[in-house]
Amino acid sequence: MKNRIDLAKRSLTGIAIGDAFGDSFFRERAIVESALENRFIPETEWRYTDDTIMAIPLLKSLELYGEINQDFVADQFAQNFLKDRHRGYGPSMHRKLLEFDANKNWLEISKSSFNGTGSMGNGSAMRVALIGAYFYDDLSKVTEQAKLSSEITHYNNEAIAGAISVAIATALCTKSNELNKEVWLDTIIDFTPESDLKYKIKKIKHLPKSYDIRTIVTALGNGTKMLAQDTVPVALWNVYHYLGDFEESLWNTVSALGDRDTTCAIVGGINMMCSEESKVPKQWENDVEKWNESIFYK
């Protein structure tokens, strides 16, 4: 049997690379356009954002408990935020994590967001891939644990659907690197709860690889709204068409612009698990900020 923690760590490394890669493209428009056209990464420190930092507590929970312990993860979210608040957290997450630290009632806080509907943001989808890697051989468990991980900060059904779809996608990639992309996508759809997000994932089959990325963004979004249903579908479209090709999937994902650190983090966490080493640039892996040496993991 594959070592579960090692698999989760591999996925987390994919999240970190995608996160830092995407974040490096938040530059002046002319610089970004030139970088995309000429395939070079704008000068960067390869420093990841909250996408990776919020994935680390999920890994720590799996290491300590073998599952997602919501109380532990919520506390870790708050503590890591206090260690460094300048990692790209959104304003609503700033407020939420400060409230977590103050009164510890994460469930009440999560449910109360957006007038009681819970947040449908992309924050739970961006961090969840490693759960799919860990529970790769039990898709029901993947679904359950992804839902638990989302509820801590994003209680809304759309956010939960986004987290589940990303985790299932990763589990399938982890289980086999000889995937039929149609079966891969059909399985994701089957496990994704009824939602606007599920409807958009179904569109992926009808959006060929040959389409201009701007057309794909019009149909699926690119994370500009920072909603799960505006973010996850375009990430899955890119993995679907570049399954097993880590580098190419990230270049195509970042060309969609939008919330590019998050879309790339999602793609990186999924596609790392079915990409051969030759498809993952060694320099990227060497240069990215090391999550396992960070203050957020120790």
Query: What confidence tens digit (pLDDT) does each residue in 86-115 have?
Result: 999 988 898 899 888 787 789 899 998 888
Q: What is the mean pLDDT of residues 114-140?
A: 95
Task: Report pTM.
Answer: 0.97
Percentage above 70 pLDDT, the chain: 100
Percentage above 90 pLDDT, the chain: 89
Q: Tell me which of 217 and 114 has the higher pLDDT.
A: 217
Q: How long a stretch of residues is the chain?
A: 298
Residue 130 has pLDDT above 80, yes or no: yes
Q: Residue type for 21, please? A: F
- Give 284-296 pLDDT, tens digit per residue: 999 999 999 999 9
Integer Cα distance of 8 and 171 in angstroms:
10
Integer Cα distance of 58 and 199 in angstroms:
28
Please report the pLDDT score of residue 67 as a whole number: 98
Q: Residue type for 247, please? A: E
Is 156 in contact with 111 (CB distance < 8 Å)? no
- Give 232-266 pLDDT, tens digit per residue: 999 999 999 999 999 999 999 999 999 999 999 99
Q: Which one-letter DSSP state was computed for residue 211?
A: S
Please report the pLDDT score of residue 92 as a whole number: 85
Comparing C-alpha atoms, which of 277, 274, 252, 278 is closest to residue 183? 274
